[in-house]
Amino acid sequence: MDVILKIAQLVLTLFNIIIILYGFYIFLTKPRTTLEKRVQALEIKMAEVEKSLLKGNDHFRSQDETLEVLIRSTLALIEFEVQYCITENKPISDDLKKVKEDLHIYLSHKN
């Protein structure tokens, strides 16, 4: 009976040592696991930011294309009005000349 008691005591002591070592291991690895979780959260956030930026760039690209079409249309209308004045032998207004010149200046500086 004494032998069984000593063996049980030895087994319990070994289990206690194993539990203490496991607790110590968890304690030592806690900063690493915390950092891994934080890095993973930041990577997810970064992916969301990049996705948002790409979406915003597409939106601005679309606006640029729309603006370009509007500028070309305005230029075509100005050219049409100038041509109409020439064919009808009417004077071209100073405002129309200025607007045409301003638009050409804007387009030459834009590119």
> Tens of pLDDT along the chain (111 residues)?
788 889 999 999 999 999 999 999 988 888 888 889 999 999 999 999 888 887 877 777 788 888 888 888 888 898 898 898 888 888 888 888 888 888 888 888 875
The DSSP annotation for 13-58 comes to HHHHHHHHHHHHHHHHHHHHHHHHHHHHHHHHHHHHHHHHHHHHHH
Q: Give the three-state DSSP class for 11.
A: helix
pTM for the predicted model, two decimal places: 0.47
